């Protein structure tokens, strides 16, 4: 599934790259118009002539250019690290899946003789949480991509499929990803489209996020893994500090697994209570989920 997902990403970007390159002159012209409008507004508000603004920008660009090589080298290192990390992740997944039955037996042997049944139940809960999270994220991205693509096409945005995918992919990161994913479609609506397309694009993104957060994710992932929002944000920040972007993605299910472990250890029950979500699931959503799971079964 991961390899197919990566192939789809490369295919979509490659298919849309030629179309975007054809639109570059129009995008540059639009940017020039926006720059002139900003210069006129600055001149009206602060009395700074466009020539002075250009000289100031050139001065700042020349300063930034002195360290451009350093930033470029760092960017290339990050890119190579990302690619090598992606290869390692694929290898890790392959070998973990290959030996999953052995790992399960290892943890069962760690438990005392009388508590192996409880250990097995805990491992099953951890497996279900991880499976719900991974499948839920894939379903969420597919839903957002389809919703965005249809909405952006109706709004008249060019390269709607590519913009939809770029807007949906960052939602792998909880909370933060939705804002990051919304930035590029809004900018393209302003630059390559018209100012009147920005508001419909923002409305499409907001509607998709509301539906995804309140219906799609609870259906396919459970009650958002039953985690407290504040500790989810703390986990995202800690994951970024330790593992970068992969940590931001993986620390949410890791917190859910830690919560399950704490709930099965008497001494750690207070920590499980601390990690649990505070907001109760609406009754209508619980009924809808039951109907959904019955239909799937």
The answer, yes or no, to whether residue 47 has pLDDT greater than 60, is yes
The answer, yes or no, to whether residue 233 has pLDDT greater than 80, is yes
Q: How confident is the model at residue 205 (pLDDT cuts 50, 70, 90)?
A: very high
Mean pLDDT of 236-250: 81
* 11-23 residue pLDDT tens: 776 766 666 666 6
| Distance from C-alpha of 258 to C-alpha of 270, rounded to nearest angstrom | 12
* Tokens standing for residue 113: 């003789």
Residue 259 in contact with residue 276, Cβ under 8 Å? yes
The answer, yes or no, to whether residue 185 has pLDDT greater than 60, is yes
The answer, yes or no, to whether residue 284 has pLDDT greater than 70, is no
Q: What pLDDT is recorded for position 75? A: 62
* Range name among 20-34, 149-163, 167-181 with the lowest pLDDT average: 20-34
* Tokens standing for residue 200: 């419909």
Q: What pLDDT is recorded for position 208? A: 92
Mean pLDDT of 225-246: 81
277 burial via Cβ count (<10 Å: 0-12, 13-18, 19+): middle
- Out of 16-20, 274-278, 286-290, give the one with best mean pLDDT: 274-278
| Distance from C-alpha of 51 to C-alpha of 23, rounded to nearest angstrom | 29
Per-residue DSSP letters for the chain? -HHHHHHHHHHHHHHHHHHHHHTHHHHHHHHHHHHHHHHHHHHHHH---HHHHHHHHHHHHHHHHHTHHHHHHHHHHHHHHHHHHHHHHHHHHHHHHHTHHHHHHHHHHHS-GGGHHHHHHHHHHHHHHHHHHHHHHHHHHHHHHHHHHHHHHHHT-TTHHHHHHHHHGGGGSTTHHHHHHHHHHHHHHHHTS-GGGHHHHHHHHHHHHHHIIIIIHHHHHTTGGG--HHHHHHHHHHHHHHHSHHHHHHHHHHHHHHHHHHHHSGGGHHHHHHHS-SSPPPHHHHHHHHHHHHHH-
Sequence-distant (6+) residues with CB within 8 A of 157 are 163, 185, 188, 189, 192, 193, 197, 201
Taking the whole predicted model, whether its pTM rises above 0.95 is answered as no
| Mean pLDDT of the chain, nearest integer | 78
Q: How confident is the model at residue 278 (pLDDT cuts 50, 70, 90)?
A: low
């Amino acid at each position: 599934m991961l390899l197919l997902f990566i192939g789809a990403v490369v295919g979509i970007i490659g298919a849309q790259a030629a179309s975007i390159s054809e639109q570059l002159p129009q995008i540059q012209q639009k940017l020039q118009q926006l720059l002139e409008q900003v210069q006129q507004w600055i001149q009206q508000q602060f009395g700074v002539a466009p020539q002075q603004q250009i000289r100031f920008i050139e001065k700042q660009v020349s300063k930034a250019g002195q360290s451009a090589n350093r930033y470029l080298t760092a960017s290339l290192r990050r890119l190579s690290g990302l690619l090598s990390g992606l290869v390692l992740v694929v290898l890790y997944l392959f070998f973990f899946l290959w030996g999953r039955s052995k790992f399960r037996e290892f943890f069962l042997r760690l438990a005392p003789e009388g508590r192996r049944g409880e250990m097995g139940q805990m491992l099953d809960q951890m497996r279900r949480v991880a499976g719900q999270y991974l499948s839920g994220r894939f379903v969420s991205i597919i839903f957002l991509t389809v919703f965005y693509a249809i909405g952006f096409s109706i709004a008249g945005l060019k390269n709607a499929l590519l913009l939809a995918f770029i807007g949906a992919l960052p939602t792998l990161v909880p909370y933060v990803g939705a804002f990051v994913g919304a930035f590029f479609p809004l900018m393209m609506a302003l630059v390559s489209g018209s100012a009147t397309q920005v508001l419909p694009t923002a409305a499409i993104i907001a509607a998709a996020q509301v539906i995804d957060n309140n219906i799609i994710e609870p259906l396919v992932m459970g009650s958002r893994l039953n985690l407290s929002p504040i500790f989810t944000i703390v986990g995202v920040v800690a994951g970024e500090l330790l593992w970068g972007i992969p940590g931001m993605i993986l620390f949410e299910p890791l917190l859910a697994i830690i919560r399950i472990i704490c709930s099965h250890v008497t001494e750690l029950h207070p920590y499980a209570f601390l990690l649990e979500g505070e907001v109760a699931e609406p009754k209508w959503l619980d009924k809808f989920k039951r109907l959904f799971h019955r239909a799937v079964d």
